[in-house]
């Protein structure tokens, strides 16, 4: 993969009512910054449209691993924002070492409700159940 190829894809999945992200290859610092900018832009657009919950499904089946501290800081800072504290997020397709790195980043950020799965089907099943649970709690005004 050369440096000019797309390293990620981000879109709103209307059917699943979630943000989708697919990570392709190993992201560099500029890729990480661009990814966060696109995520923030999509989230702003969704807020304007009245979307209340911006849960995410993250496909890492083609992802590389990046250990650069500047790269990690970009994502930790993004995940630490108040808007993301209670977002339900799933990531699937990580190898063991990748999972350790991402789990470390998520832990540093304080983000809640983040789960790892081997396959997309497992991730979707958990996410649907988590959304139902959140909706039930919200209907009873429990946070």
pLDDT given at position 4: 57
pLDDT tens digits, 18-45: 999 999 988 888 999 999 999 999 999 9
Average pLDDT, the chain: 87
CB 69 within 8 A of CB 32: no
CB 110 within 8 A of CB 80: yes
CB 27 within 8 A of CB 65: no
pLDDT tens digits, 44-56: 999 999 998 889 9
pLDDT given at position 1: 46
Q: Tokens at residue 77, please?
A: 């800072």
pLDDT tens digits, 48-106: 999 988 899 999 999 887 778 888 888 888 888 877 766 889 999 998 888 888 888 88
pLDDT given at position 8: 93
| Signed CA dihedral, 23, 68, 34, 131: sign only | positive
Kindly report which listed range (2-6, 43-47, 105-109, 136-140) carries the lowest average pLDDT score.
2-6
Q: Is pLDDT above 90 for 114?
A: no
CB 72 within 8 A of CB 111: no
Give residues with Cβ within 8 angstroms of 47, minimum separation 6.
none
Name the pTM for this structure.
Answer: 0.85
For 62-77, give one letter per residue: b (16+ CB within 10 A) or e.
Answer: ebeebeeeebbebbbe
- Residue carrying structure tokens 């397709």: 93
CB 87 within 8 A of CB 52: no
Pick the CATH number of 8-138 from 3.30.750.24, 3.30.70.1450, 3.90.1210.10, 2.120.10.10: 3.30.750.24
pLDDT given at position 85: 67
């Amino acid at each position: 993969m050369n440096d000019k190829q797309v390293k990620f894809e981000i879109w709103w999945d209307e059917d699943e009512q979630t943000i989708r992200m697919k990570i392709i290859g190993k992201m560099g610092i500029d890729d990480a910054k661009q990814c966060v900018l696109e995520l923030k832009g999509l989230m702003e657009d969704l807020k304007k449209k009245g979307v209340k919950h911006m849960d995410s499904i993250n496909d890492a089946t083609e992802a590389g691993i990046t250990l650069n501290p500047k790269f990690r800081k970009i994502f930790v800072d993004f995940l630490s924002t108040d808007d993301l504290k209670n977002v339900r997020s799933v990531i699937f397709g990580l190898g063991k070492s990748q999972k350790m790195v991402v789990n470390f980043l998520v832990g540093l950020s304080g983000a809640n409700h983040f789960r790892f799965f081997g396959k997309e089907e497992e991730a979707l099943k958990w996410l649907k159940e988590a959304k139902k649970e959140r909706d039930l709690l919200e209907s009873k005004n429990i946070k």
